[in-house]
Structure formats: structure tokens, C-alpha cells
């Protein structure tokens, strides 16, 4: 009989385990289905683990209840993350507000978390069933073991990153204990689109991307925009991906030159025409955008093989219009197997924001992505996993 069992050994579980040891609370176990804990941590932030962000506020989060998210985030914010890792001897660094371990290697975060917890972890333990009988929970694992505990924390993630142990089975555990799961969507994923020709595959550009519903702007995101085999990807696209499913006529409008106003670019191109009249029009936008994209624009406008001297003012304006307002058709989004995080989850109306304890089942707690809370790209999901885990830790001292 344990006082507490944590189901799942991902980021939030390991943070919670570390906080419990700091509280001098030792009567707990972490059950992880994989052969080791924290596999997903290793692939986060492209192997560099983007832990949190210097810019932290509610506008970066999505989910059923903002007051629910706000409580945990305010109590355990980005500065709290920094102090938590400093106590473990791990220094952090930042790039454009994104916070990483100083080593810029995810394994250093995983090591800082997992090493003190070696005696508290059981791996290869896939919890397939949970029952509450009287004051205790009975947990059954796929290998036939039974565990008895007074309290349970479901830290077993969402439906994204399925090859890392999170296939959505976590939600069934919550449902068997009486909880409702909101509609689930893949978020922070690529977007399927047949807009760009194959020749542009691999082009990466800094861009301002606006998701439009018919002609109404829904949300804007600025960052990397990548043209891929199947569509478009990059941070700017990831951040808009969860909104697409609830948009009736979704379309991206992409500004490849967000730092420059329309008229300024038009004037610059007119100057270029005056200075280099014999240069081929396909190179008109070279220096502004990738040369293959410059050629693509010239082809679309039918000026590819002309000298710049033959390109009139209206055509220059059309070229700039395309570069600053490029319409990208949206054919769908990459599925859960490609998404970084799940939009939706355990309905937070049935969870106490001050403890993360279920309002329906005493002794049941939740941390991280299993809850109906998800964040934008930039460290916001690991921050949520941290904040929610720290709130749970307060109940075990
Ligand atoms: C490729 C990728 C890159 C990402 N990069 C970032 C980033 O840089 N910054 C950021 O903030 N977020 C990032 N995320 C999102 C972030 O990793 C997750 O939101 C976060 O890990 C969620 O933490 P968690 O503890 O809730 O769940 P997880 O870390 O997903 O852990 C859940 C654990 O539970 C285990 N488990 C599941 N079911 C059971 C069961 N029934 N029994 C036992 N064990 C079970 C799983 O094997 C897993 O180890 C990324 C995600 C992916 C997929």
C-alpha cells in the first residue's frame, strides 16, 4: 500500500517526484509504461528542450477555463522553473525569450530530473485499469501486477507523440473514474496544403502568418515558415494549427516581409529596376526572399524571362502583394502522430484549480497534458506541465 502512485513517468511526473522529495515525502511510486522515463523530454525543442519562455501570460494558452490555467501559472511561473533547476545545479539560457538548459541538450534536463528518482520508478508498467474501492485505488498493469494506493496522480499525457508512449489511453483511465474528456484535436502540427510547387520544398522563411476564416482574420503568428513535401510547417504554422478545426473556411495569408511596409518594398524594387534594367525579372525579389521563391512569383506573374526594365509599376505592386499577402490553401492538419501537443483533455470544470484534485473522485489528481490545457510553441507546454505538477506537490508533505 502506497500513499501515492503517479501514473506516467514523463516531464510533469518527474517534476512532481522531485518536488515530493524536496517536501521530504517519500511514500510514492512512478509507474511508466516505457522501458525508461522521460523519453519525450529528449525530443522536445528539437533535442534542446525549450523549458519555458520569458514572455508568459494567458494569451499563449488554450483550454476550457482561463482561471484554472491562471492559478497554477501565477503560483509557479517561469522564474519558479529557473529556481527549481538551479537547486538541481542546472543553469538555463535563453534565445529570443525561449528558455533552454545551458548545455542546449535535452538529456541534461532529463538527467537532472530522473537521477534522484531512481528508487521511486517502475518501468515497463503500463497501467491499464484503475478502480476505487473504499478509500483506496487498485491499479492493474498489463504485466499482471496490482498496486494499491491511497492517492493517484494521472500524469500520463495526451494523444500526441504516440511513438513516445502517449497514445490517448490516458483518457480512458480518467473516464473510468468519472471524468469527461473534451473534444481532442492535434495541435502544434504541420498543415496539409497543395499550394506550393514541389520545387519550393525545403524553403524556410521568417514570416507573419494569419489564419483567415473567409476574409475575417482569426489569429496571427510570427516565426519560421517552412514549405514541406506535404504542405507547410514551422513555428508560425504550429501555433495556428489548433484553431483550424474550428474555422469554417480556413486559409493562411502569409507575409514573407513582415518588417517592411508595402510601399517601401515597391519603392525599393523600382529603384532596383532603375539600377539593374537588364537583370532578369525572375531575380527581382532575390535578396528579399529565397531565390527559388522569387522565380516562383515571377512565373505566377508571367514575367519570368523579361528584363526588369520591361516590368511595369503595376506588376511590381502585384509581386509585392503576393509576397506580403500570399494565400495558402489549407487541406487539413497533420494527425496526432505528427502533433506536439493535444488540444482538449480532462474537462477542468471537474478539477480543483488550487490542488489539481478531482472534484468527483477524492484522492485523484492530474498534471500536464492530460488536462484540457495546451500552449503555443515556445516552452509553454512544459511550463504548464511544471506548474500543474508543483500545485499537486503541495498536497503531499
Ligand atoms: C516532438 C515534440 C517536441 C516538443 N517540444 C516541446 C518544447 O520544446 N517545449 C514545450 O513546452 N513542449 C514541447 N512539447 C510538448 C511537451 O513535451 C508535452 O506537453 C509535455 O511533455 C507533457 O508532459 P506530461 O507529463 O503531461 O506528459 P508526457 O511528458 O507526455 O508523459 C506522459 C508519460 O506517461 C506514460 N504513460 C502514458 N500512459 C501510461 C499508462 N497507462 N501507464 C503508464 N505510463 C503511461 C508515457 O509513456 C509518458 O512517458 C513537445 C512535444 C513533442 C511530441
Among the candidates 283, 316, 334, a domain finishes at: 334
Give the pLDDT of residue 192.
96
Do 244 and 110 sit in the same domain of this protein? Answer: no
Q: Cα(27)–Cα(280) distance, rounded to whole angstroms? A: 74
Give the pLDDT of residue 173.
98
Do 235 and 384 sit in the same domain of this protein? Answer: no
**Ligand 1 pocket check for 156: Cβ under 6 Å:** yes
Q: Is the CB of residue 148 less than 8 Å from the CB of residue 138?
A: yes
DSSP for residue 203? -
Give the pLDDT of residue 151.
98
- E strand or H helix that includes residue 207: strand 204-213
Query: How remote is the CA of residue 373 from the centroid of ligand 1, in Å?
Result: 13
C-alpha cell at 352: 480543483
Do 154 and 40 sit in the same domain of this protein? Answer: yes
Residue 35: name the closest of 130, 131, 143 by CA.
143
What's the pLDDT band for 56 if we cut at 50, 70, 90?
very high
- Cα–Cα distances in angstroms (integers) from residue 252 to residues 143, 248, 296, in the given order: 48, 13, 18
Range of 378's domain?
A: 2-186+341-393
Do 270 and 129 sit in the same domain of this protein? Answer: no
Give the number of domains in the chain: 2
Do 166 and 264 sit in the same domain of this protein? Answer: no
The partner residues of 373 in beta bridges, in order of sequence, read 63
Beta strand pairing status for 250-255 and 204-213? antiparallel
Do 249 and 156 sit in the same domain of this protein? Answer: no
Do 372 and 225 sit in the same domain of this protein? Answer: no
Coil, strand or helix at 131: strand
Give the pLDDT of residue 94.
96
Q: Which atom of ligand 1 is nearest to the CA of 37?
A: 49
Give the pLDDT of residue 128.
97
Residue 243, Cβ neighbours under 10 Å: how many?
Answer: 18
The 10s digit of each residue's pLDDT in 148-192 is 999 999 999 999 998 999 999 999 999 999 999 999 999 999 999
**Ligand 1 pocket check for 171: Cβ under 6 Å:** no
Q: Which atom of ligand 1 is nearest to the CA of 385?
A: 23
Q: Which residues contact 261 (CB under 8 A, 6 or more apart)?
A: none
Q: Cα(297)–Cα(281) distance, rounded to whole angstroms? A: 10
Do 328 and 362 sit in the same domain of this protein? Answer: no
Do 23 and 112 sit in the same domain of this protein? Answer: yes
Query: How remote is the CA of residue 10 from the centroid of ligand 1, in Å?
Result: 6
**Ligand 1 pocket check for 127: Cβ under 6 Å:** yes
Query: How remote is the CA of residue 293 from the centroid of ligand 1, in Å?
Result: 37
Question: What CATH number is attached to the domain comprising 115?
Answer: 3.50.50.60
**Ligand 1 pocket check for 126: Cβ under 6 Å:** yes
Residue 150: name the closest of 132, 129, 136, 139 by CA.
136
Do 52 and 105 sit in the same domain of this protein? Answer: yes
Do 161 and 309 sit in the same domain of this protein? Answer: no
The 10s digit of each residue's pLDDT in 199-220 is 999 999 999 999 999 989 999 9
- E strand or H helix that includes residue 6: strand 2-7
Q: Where are the alpha helices (DSSP H) in the chain?
A: 11-22, 39-43, 66-75, 78-87, 106-114, 169-176, 235-244, 262-275, 291-301, 313-324, 380-393
The 10s digit of each residue's pLDDT in 29-40 is 999 999 999 999
Amino acid at each position: 500500500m502506497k500513499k501515492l502512485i503517479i501514473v506516467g513517468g514523463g516531464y510533469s511526473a518527474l517534476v512532481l517526484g522531485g518536488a515530493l522529495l524536496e517536501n521530504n515525502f517519500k511514500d510514492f511510486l512512478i509507474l511508466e509504461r516505457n522501458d525508461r522515463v522521460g523519453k519525450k523530454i529528449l525530443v522536445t525543442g528539437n533535442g534542446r528542450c525549450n523549458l519555458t519562455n520569458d514572455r508568459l501570460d494567458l494569451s499563449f494558452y488554450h483550454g476550457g477555463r482561463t482561471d484554472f490555467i491562471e492559478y497554477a501559472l501565477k503560483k509557479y511561473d517561469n522564474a519558479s522553473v529557473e529556481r527549481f533547476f538551479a537547486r538541481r545545479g542546472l543553469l538555463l539560457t535563453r534565445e529570443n525569450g525561449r528558455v533552454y538548459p545551458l548545455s542546449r541538450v535535452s538529456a541534461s534536463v532529463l538527467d537532472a530530473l530522473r537521477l534522484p528518482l531512481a528508487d521511486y520508478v517502475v518501468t515497463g508498467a503500463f497501467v491499464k485499469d484503475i478502480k476505487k474501492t473504499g478509500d483506496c485505488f487498485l491499479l492493474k498493469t498489463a504485466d499482471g501486477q496490482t498496486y494499491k494506493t491511497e492517492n493517484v496522480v494521472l500524469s500520463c499525457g495526451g494523444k500526441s507523440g504516440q511513438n513516445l508512449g502517449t497514445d490517448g489511453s490516458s483518457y480512458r483511465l480518467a473516464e473510468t473514474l468519472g471524468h469527461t474528456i473534451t473534444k481532442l484535436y492535434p495541435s502544434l502540427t504541420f498543415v496539409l496544403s497543395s499550394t506550393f510547387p514541389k520545387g519550393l520544398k525545403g524553403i524556410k522563411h521568417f514570416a507573419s502568418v494569419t489564419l483567415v476564416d473567409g476574409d475575417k482574420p482569426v489569429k496571427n503568428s510570427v516565426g519560421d515558415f517552412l514549405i514541406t513535401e506535404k504542405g507547410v510547417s514551422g513555428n508560425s504554422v504550429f501555433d495556428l494549427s489548433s484553431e483550424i478545426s474550428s474555422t469554417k473556411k480556413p486559409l493562411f495569408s502569409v507575409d514573407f516581409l513582415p518588417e517592411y511596409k508595402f510601399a517601401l518594398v515597391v519603392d525599393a524594387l523600382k529603384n532596383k529596376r532603375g539600377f539593374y534594367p537588364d537583370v532578369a525579372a525572375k531575380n527581382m525579389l532575390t535578396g528579399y526572399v529565397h531565390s527559388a521563391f522569387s522565380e516562383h512569383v515571377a512565373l505566377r506573374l508571367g514575367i519570368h524571362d523579361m528584363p526588369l526594365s520591361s516590368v511595369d509599376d503595376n506588376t511590381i505592386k502585384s509581386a509585392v502583394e503576393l509576397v506580403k499577402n500570399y494565400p495558402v490553401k489549407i487541406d487539413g492538419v497533420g494527425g496526432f502522430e505528427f502533433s506536439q501537443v493535444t488540444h482538449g483533455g480532462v474537462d477542468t470544470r471537474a478539477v480543483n484549480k488550487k490542488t489539481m484534485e478531482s472534484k468527483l473522485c477524492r484522492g485523484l489528481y492530474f498534471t500536464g497534458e492530460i488536462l484540457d490545457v495546451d500552449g503555443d510553441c515556445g516552452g509553454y507546454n512544459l511550463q504548464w506541465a511544471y506548474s500543474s505538477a508543483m500545485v499537486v506537490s503541495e498536497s503531499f508533505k
